[in-house]
Chain A
Amino acid sequence: SVNPDLASERQTASFCVEKLTALLDGGAEQTRIRRAVVEAIQSDPVFSRENQYFETQNERYEAAVRKAVHLQKKMHEMGWTENGPEYKYIYRALSGDIAFLLHRVFMRSISVLGSDKQIAKWIPLATQLQLIGSYAQTELGHGTYLQGLETTAVFDIATQEFILNTPKISAMKWWPGDMGRSATHTVVFAQLYIHGKCYGIHPFIVQIRSLQDHSLCPGITAGDIGPKMNFEAIDNGYLMLKNVHIPRENMLSKFCEVRPDGTYVRQGSQKINYFTMTALRISLISDEVLTPLMKACTIAIRYSVVRRQSKLKPGEQEAKILDYQTQQEKLLPQLAAAYAFHFINHYLQELFDGGYREIQRKNFDMLPELHALSSGFKAVITHHCTAAVEICLRACGGHGYSLLSGLPSLYTKILASCIYEGENTILLLQTARFLIKCFMAASAGQPVPPSVTYLAAVKAGKCPAKNKSDFLSPDIYTEAYQHVALRLISSTAAKLQDLIQSGAKKYDAWNQCTVQLVQAAKAHCHYITVKNFAETVEKLETKAGIQRIMKHLCDLFALHGIFSNTGAFLHDGYISAAQMDMVTASYLDLLSVIRKDAVPLVDAFDFTDKSLNSALGSYDGQVYQRLYEWAQKSPTNKMSPAYEKYLKPLLHNTLSKL
């Protein structure tokens, strides 16, 4: 039965939860398909995560391999294909913990970087899992800065082979998933040398383990890189190459080829490849970043209406902790952010789909903008969501620290997203470079891409708000965000100019402005997110209370951003001190409004209990009973050898004999 404290929250919802779920899914039909996939996977015991929190790294890895193998069978049984509508929901239903994710990256890189002949050779083998692939780019010494990679591939005309080497310890491949134990092959990125001349980084297919007995191939040293904060199930690996010979045909050669005589030929445009990398950053956001945040919000908010603590009014029952303003102030902005980022992700997906169509038609004009947006938003969304998950964890008091709450593993997993696919600070600086360039162009009256047209319209002026309800107007706050973004971009551009004019080298001036540049890039992304949220709300149907509650969340997201960063808005007097008090008042008022719908708003994310795998966040709210039952399953509750070996002699008075 549902805990009455949770049940009562659902009776007062101001909107139709099922309708909101459909909106998030992109239609009721999508919701139906998703639920069918989730049901098929979660009713299958092989995919169970019941013991996940109690397993060792070795057990987790083995389970992940078992699940990956079983998934092949399951897909066949269910008639799911890679191009079918079900496919995108499988990963969500599994909640991670599955092997061969890098195998998919291996296949995609061959499809994108390989010649037709290479695709014809490798893709069928990979599809059939006759070989297991990985993708070895990052090295011990280099990550985001690809030009610095040190692995070498030297072309040997005599044998028509490339000879691959790890010339020093920092050149070891380090981190690639599936490579530590599983992979038989991997795409290795290495500096290509022909006749002693370096041609830069190129991809090569290298076999690393025997297809017969899985032993390492000659010249290969490979293994697991050891325990991490999460991803216990994944065998992130290292790889050292010592005079490993591979045939000339193993260099992926869609764009660059080495002819038998050693001639190096470039062909076609690399821009499609570039687009793919850029699009990958965006494709991660949904499963790897938004899902964990939505789960964390679900757990923390449900728990906060079940947990009662202290009294708000003397003589009454203890209050639900969600009734405390400080608890609302922790959780509700995170909930609003989950929705804000869901909508911006949707916007970015559409933009990329459009970009892809243009690129098919050989129009590459959108690339710089897409690249800037994907870099900036990848950084801003991963950073914001990671912080938000940690806030959720910490808002659950002591029980949040139990792995059984589900929150620690959500946190340790999401935080890796701040690093992979480009370190966030570096990505923000790339966005900043684009913004500065566009700002200069706009100032000179040249055309700029659609997302940055506002850079052309430098306006002075003040925020026109007269009272606190004015700050519930999207025009008012969107304008304020635009103003701040523009101010930060233009002042940084001016500072750069100043430095250069006073004799600083360009790169030096850039490094001296990087802190400001990062702030400017963040402000730009924040502005676009607010603007997009407001525009999305405007287009929503007014039925079933959906638009009204989304408007509240949009207001909350926008005002929380101002409240948390008052200085940026006060700095040039755009918002006055008196207006800032109105912002604060309006913001705090909104908390108690959204409080009433908090549980329905997380119910709309529609996670099953098995997806959440949390003793605190289950739909029925039977928190304490579940925590107690789950704890008893812990392996530590079997008799530990520690008693016989150490405790017994201790307790049996060996000390007092001293």
Chain B
Amino acid sequence: AAMPMTADLRRERAAATFQPLLLTHILDGGPERTRRRKEIEALVLNDPDFQHEDLNFLSRSQRYEQAIRKSSLMVIKLREYGIADPDEIFWFKSFVHRGRPEPLDLHLGMFLPTLLTQATPEQQDRFFMPAWNLEIIGTYAQTEMGHGTHLRGLETTATYDPATQEFILNSPTVTSIKWWPGGLGKTSNHAIVLAQLYTQGQCKGLHAFIVPIRQLGTHEPLPGITVGDIGPKFGYDEMDNGYLKMDNFRIPRENMLMKHAQVEPDGTYVKPLSDKLTYGTMVFIRSLIVGDSARSLSRACTIAIRYSAVRHQSELKPGEPEPQILDYQTQQYKLFPLLATAYAFHFVGAYIKDTYHRISGDINEGDLSELPELHALTAGLKAFTSWTANAGIEECRMACGGHGYSRCSGIPDIYVTFTPSCTYEGENTVMMLQTARFLVKSYGQVSSGQQVTGMVSYLNDLSRQRIQPQHVAARTATVRINDPVSLVEAYKARAAWLVEAAAKNLQAELNHRKSKEDAWNRTSVDLVRASEAHCHYVVVKLFAAKLPEVTNAAVRAVLTDLCLLYALFGISKNTGDFLQAGILTSAQITQVNQHVKELLAVIRPNAVALVDSFDFHDVHLGSVLGRYDGNVYENMFEWAKKSPLNKTEVHESFRKHLKPMQAKL
């Protein structure tokens, strides 16, 4: 029911120095896109078919059931409405499932696209339309119990039998059981299975096969297939992540996805032209995670900041009413840097997406020159943003005190839904090391006199500094802590310093030891630090680069405050690097710390407006604490009354356990 906005939030909104809608337009990529997003949101929210009980009160099986119900309707309605643009589909899906995963994610996001990119025209004829019409529901079975990010270690085998022109699929060990694929447990009747291909007695590495797993009609597992749900997880209750064990399971030769590599009827293997092609998909999915980091952190910030403006506690000044907790410096120090981070990540996500779209045209024409750098960059940024957002979501929850711990706050759900992204699509530490490999390689190129381009071009300056060693010291005086552009330079210098240190340590290890792998391993902590510093620099740079593009002065001013806070807070959390590298002096560090606190006070009046600009609908936010109208306590009570433990006035355990015990004593 509609309730009037609380006085606290009304006052906050009236005090803002800018119009939130203008900022929403920037985040959405233009007023027209904001309009369209809200139109789609209304389509879903006003549709009675998509209503349901609060998921917090349902069991896992019930949540799965609700998700399946909504997913099937979603597919039908998307087609009814003729929504086909990828962003619009994403919005629609996100409103239907309120930002949660759903059982058809892998079918829509992996199975169908993989058919499009890796199946031959003949295979597309056989599979695509049935899959499009959901007669075939597929998933993408890559990860095994024993292997995840390290793909070459996968153990599932597909052995070609020329006599019958079939592949024989096997899960030879317990560790080779496919484990985790979404939608595999209960929903799918087909899977694209990644397996080591054996033909003519030789292993040809990983290849993809279309494997039917359940009988069409009865949905029973096929003979030779063992399939099921992997059990309860930290979140992802809607998703039937599954296991799959194959025992001499035969599929026709034509079920190997053969657009790139082929096995001919006699077993002759034909190699693919390039293995870089698979990079494209990885870059794309990792860029989505960067965007997701921004969104998830934005949601948590919205909840924590609105609640902090509604909650009053203790006293700041003797004799005065209890202040909003958002007036405490410690609370601002917890939340505002996260708010700034959420904005920074939005701009980084948009940048990567644009860059990907820009160069994907080149990729289709066979020009892969920009791909390695983008691949290295997205690997690191995926890790950097997901780690930061993950920790940030938890800080937001903690900043809500005890009530943050209740599921009614919505933050536990945001956290458990988001946190696996630190692991899937490439474990974060491994991702950081991939970026490091690119950085070290670039450093090597610079050392041998070559120029590097793109985001690593700052490494070119290192060789100049070696000629003029005083250059480093001269730098300190030049950092202006009120100027985003100057701060970008400071981050650049830090990244260069750490990349160089890691590269030199690696070289020192190589000089002492024989094996490259050992040296790499013994330097990996340094290498991860270097990657983090590189990513941090990229984020500051992209945020600062966004500012001149903002035309409205009031919006630009508030974004400049956030950008400065992001950059300065990052320095104050990593003062050691800046001091040790001689980029900033102790006196400057003290100024940075002081300026961070001043910025907190500057941002304070705009805090609520800045989260309003993210424009999350209450239904989408799913939080009692973060309601737009601020009526928190009344609604917590209403929410609690629906708890399953409250179904009956007297719980049955009274009669079963308490009463008999009291009678006995």
A residues near B (Cβ < 8 Å) are: 53-54, 56-58, 61-62, 65-66, 69, 72, 128-130, 132, 138, 140-145, 148, 169-170, 172, 174-175, 180-182, 211, 213-216, 223-229, 235, 238, 307-314, 318, 323-327, 329-330, 390, 393-394, 397-404, 408, 412, 415-416, 418-420, 423, 425, 429, 505, 507-508, 511-512, 514-516, 518, 565-573, 577, 580, 588, 624-625, 627-628, 630-637, 640-643, 645-653, 655-656, 658
Q: Which A-B residue pairs are the 6 nearest by beta carbons?
A: A566-B576, A567-B575, A224-B645, A634-B231, A408-B234, A567-B576
User: Is B153 located at the chain interface by the 8 A CB criterion?
Assistant: yes
Given A129-B665, A215-B649, 7 further pairs, Cβ under 8 A:
A129-B662, A214-B650, A310-B152, A570-B576, A631-B228, A649-B72, A656-B133
B64 and A326 within 8 A (CB):
no
How far, in angstroms, from A628 to B420 measured CA to CA in the complex?
Answer: 20
Q: Are B657 and A66 in contact (CB under 8 A)?
A: yes
| With known contacts A655-B134, A656-B135, A325–B525 Cβ distance under 8 A | yes
Contact indicator B64/A636 (Cβ below 8 Å): yes
In the assembled complex, the Cα of A236 lies from the Cα of B228 at a distance in Å of 35
How far, in angstroms, from A284 to B137 measured CA to CA in the complex?
50
Q: Is B469 an interface residue (CB 8 A)?
A: no
If A214-B654, A511-B316, A646-B65 touch, whether A624 touches B665 (CB-CB below 8 Å) is: no
Q: Which residues of A contact B512 (CB under 8 A)?
A: none
Of chain B, the residue at the smallest CB distance from A131 is B662
Residues of A within 8 A of B317 (CB): 505, 507-508
- Report the bound CA distance from A505 to B177 in whole Å: 67
Question: A637 CA to B228 CA in the complex, in Å?
Answer: 6
Given A148-B314, A224-B645, A398-B180: A571 in contact with B586 (beta carbons within 8 A): yes
12 residue pairs from A and B, CB less than 8 Å apart = A57-B644, A58-B645, A310-B150, A310-B152, A313-B518, A318-B150, A398-B180, A518-B330, A631-B230, A634-B231, A647-B219, A656-B133
Q: Is the CB of A62 within 8 A of B652?
A: yes
Least Cβ–Cβ distance between B144 and chain A, in angstroms: 10
Q: Assuming A56-B59, A57-B644, A634-B232, is B68 touching A397 (CB within 8 A)?
A: no
Interchain nearest-CB distance for B114 vs A (Å): 20
Enumerate chain A residues within 8 angstroms of B659, measured Cβ to Cβ. Answer: 214
- Which of B79, B231, B330, B661 touches A630 (beta carbons < 8 Å)? B231
Contacting pair A58 B186 (CB below 8 A): no
Determine the residue in chain B with the shortest Cβ distance to A53: B232
Query: Is B597 part of the contact surface with A, judged by Cβ < 8 Å?
Result: yes
Taking CB atoms, residues of chain B closer than 8 Å to A170 are: 633
Could you say which of B403-411, B440-448, B555-563 contacts chain A?
Answer: B403-411
A325 pairs with B654, CB closer than 8 A = no
Instruction: Decide yes or no whether B53 CB sits under 8 A from chain A.
Output: no
- Whole-angstrom distance from the CB of B187 to the nearest CB of chain A? 7
Q: Decide: A570 near B429, CB < 8 A? Known: A140-B636, A398-B423, A577-B580.
A: no
Whether a CB of chain A sits under 8 angstroms from the CB of B552 is no
**CA distance in complex: A330, B429 (Å):** 10
CB distance from B209 to the nearest CB of A (A): 21
Q: Which residues of B contact A425 (CB under 8 A)?
A: 330, 334
Residues of B within 8 A of A (CB): 56-57, 59-61, 64-65, 68-69, 72, 75-76, 79-80, 129, 133-135, 137, 143, 145-150, 152-153, 174-175, 177, 179-180, 185-187, 189, 216-217, 219, 228-236, 240, 243, 311-314, 316-318, 322, 328-330, 333-334, 394, 398, 401-408, 412, 419-420, 422-424, 427, 429, 433, 515, 517-518, 521-525, 528, 574-580, 582, 586, 589, 593, 597, 633-634, 636-637, 639-646, 649-654, 656-659, 661-662, 665
Contacts of A646 in B (CB 8 A): 65, 68-69, 72
Provide the bound-state CA to CA distance between A570 and B590, in Å: 13
B411 → A minimal CB distance (Å): 9
* Residue from A223, A571, A651 in contact with B643 in the complex, judged by beta carbons closer than 8 Å: A223
A636 (CB) vs chain B CBs: closest residue: B229
> In the complex, A175 Cα to B405 Cα: how many Å?
10
**In the complex, which residues of chain A have a beta carbon less than 8 angstroms from the beta carbon of B186?**
636, 640, 642-643, 647
What's the least CB distance linking B235 to chain A, in Å?
8
- Whether the Cβ atoms of A223 and B153 lie closer than 8 Å is no
Bound Cα distance from A625 to B180, whole angstroms: 16
**B231: which A residues are within 8 A, CB to CB?**
53-54, 402-404, 630-631, 633-634, 636
Q: Is the interface of B mostly helix, strand, loop or mixed?
A: helix
Say whether, besides A140-B633, A637-B229, A401 and B330 are in contact (CB < 8 Å).
no
Closest to A68 in B: B657
* B228 pairs with A223, CB closer than 8 A: no
Complex Cα distance, B379 from A409, in Å, reads 30
Report chain A residues within 8 Å CB of B56.
Answer: 226-227
Is B79's CB under 8 angstroms from A580's CB?
no
Cβ-defined contact, B586 with A572, below 8 A? yes
CB distance from B35 to the nearest CB of A (A): 28
Which residues of B lie under 8 Å from residue A235 when comparing CB positions? 645, 651
Output the least CB separation between A333 and chain B (Å). 11
Q: Determine the distance from Cα of A180 to Cα of B654 in the docked complex, in whole angstroms.
A: 12
Q: How far is the CB of B660 from chain A (nearest CB, A)?
A: 8
Chain B residue contacts of A216, Cβ below 8 A: 649
Among the interface residues B408, B515, B580, which one has the most CB atoms of the partner chain A within 10 A?
B580
**Is the Cβ of A640 less than 8 Å from the Cβ of B65?**
yes
The docked-state distance in angstroms from the alpha carbon of A404 to that of B586 is 49
Provide the bound-state CA to CA distance between A227 and B636, in Å: 12
Q: Is the CB–CB distance between B637 and A169 below 8 Å?
A: yes
The verdict on A227 contacting B407 (CB below 8 Å), with A169-B633, A325-B525, A642-B186 known, is yes
Q: How far is the CB of B403 from chain A (nearest CB, A)?
A: 8
> CB-nearest residue of chain A relative to B227?
A637
Beyond A215-B650, A624-B145, A658-B79, whether A310 also contacts B153 by CB under 8 A is yes
Min CB gap A21→B, angstroms: 31
Task: Let me know if A571 and B575 touch, CB within 8 A.
Answer: yes
**In the complex, which of the residues A138, A394, A631, A653 contacts B243, with contact meaning CB atoms closer than 8 Å?**
A631
Nearest chain-B residue to A325 (Cβ)?
B524
Among A132, A216, A397, A653, the most chain B Cβ lie within 10 Å of the Cβ of A397
In chain A, what residue has the closest Cβ to B320? A507
Contact B649 A571 (CB under 8 A): no
Task: Return B214 CB to nearest CB of chain A, in Å.
Answer: 9
The answer to whether residues A214 and B398 also contact, given A313-B517, A403-B233 and a CB cut-off of 8 A, is: no
Q: Give Cα A224–Cα B649 distance, bound, in whole angstroms.
A: 11
- List of A residues within 8 angstroms of B636 by Cβ: 140, 174, 225
Q: Indicate if the CB atoms of A226 and B640 lie closer than 8 Å.
A: yes
Contacting A61 at CB < 8 Å: which of B312, B313, B329, B645? B645
B419 touches A401 (CB 8 A): yes
From B235, which residue of chain A is reached at the shortest CB distance?
A401
**Nearest Cβ in chain B — how far from A207, in angstroms?**
15
Q: Quick check: B423 and A314 within 8 Å, CB to CB?
A: no
Residue among A57, A647, A653 with max Cβ neighbours from chain B (10 Å): A647
Task: Identify the closest chain B residue to A591 (Cβ).
Answer: B525
Taking CB atoms, residues of chain A closer than 8 Å to B651 are 61-62, 181, 235
**How close is B263's CB to chain A, nearest CB, in angstroms?**
27
Decide: B174 and A624 in contact? CB cutoff 8 A. Answer: yes
Q: Which of A62, A330, A404, A512 makes the CB contact (< 8 A) with B597?
A: A512
B502 shortest CB reach to chain A, Å: 11
Check B401–A223 contact: CB distance below 8 A. no
Q: Provide the bound-state CA to CA distance between A57 and B647, in Å.
A: 12
Say whether B576 contacts A569, CB under 8 Å: yes
- The distance from the CB of B486 to the nearest CB of chain A, in whole angstroms, is 20
Is the beta-carbon distance between A228 and B405 smaller than 8 angstroms?
yes
**Is there contact, CB below 8 Å, between B407 and A129?**
no
Identify the closest chain B residue to A642 (Cβ).
B65
**In the complex where A325-B525, A645-B65, A646-B72 touch, is A632 in contact with B313 (Cβ < 8 A)?**
no
Q: How far is the CA of A226 from the CA of B149 in the complex (A)?
A: 38
Residue of A nearest to B70 (CB): A646
The answer to whether A142 and B230 touch (CB under 8 A), given A419-B401, A625-B174, is no
Contacts of B316 in A (CB 8 A): 507-508, 511
B135 and A653: CB pair below 8 A?
Answer: yes
By a CB distance below 8 angstroms, the chain A residues around B79 are: 655, 658
